[in-house]
Amino acid sequence: MSTDISECITLAKAELQVAKQKIAAELSDYPTPVAGCDAQFNHLLAQRHRVNAALEALAAAPHVPTPRQPE
């Protein structure tokens, strides 16, 4: 099975969107009040940050430095 890179990136974005929705649902269903030292809640916040950062990285235009030849 041959999959090109753009298909892989599209699949990764789709899976990250699913993860983002699941994390959002868990956070909205989390019982309140939340203590600042609640490890599980803080873990969810960290996961949300990681997923958002990954989505932003996949959406960003990559900068590929091009070496220049001296004239």
Residue 45 domain boundaries: 5-56
pLDDT at 69 over 80: no
CB count within 10 Å of CB 19 equals 16
pLDDT tens track for 1-14: 567 989 999 999 99
Residue 67 lies in a domain: no
When divided into structural domains, the chain yields a total of 1
How many angstroms separate the CA atoms of 42 and 57, rounded? 22
Is residue 62 a part of any domain in this protein?
A: no
- For 12-57, how does the pLDDT look when each residue is reduced to its tens digit (9 = 90+)? 999 999 999 999 999 999 998 988 888 999 999 999 999 999 999 9
What gap in Å lies between CA 57 and CA 4, rounded to an integer?
19
3-state secondary structure of 71: coil
pLDDT-based confidence at residue 68 (cuts at 50, 70, 90): confident
pTM: 0.79
Q: Is residue 64 part of a domain?
A: no
DSSP letter (8 states) at residue 65? -
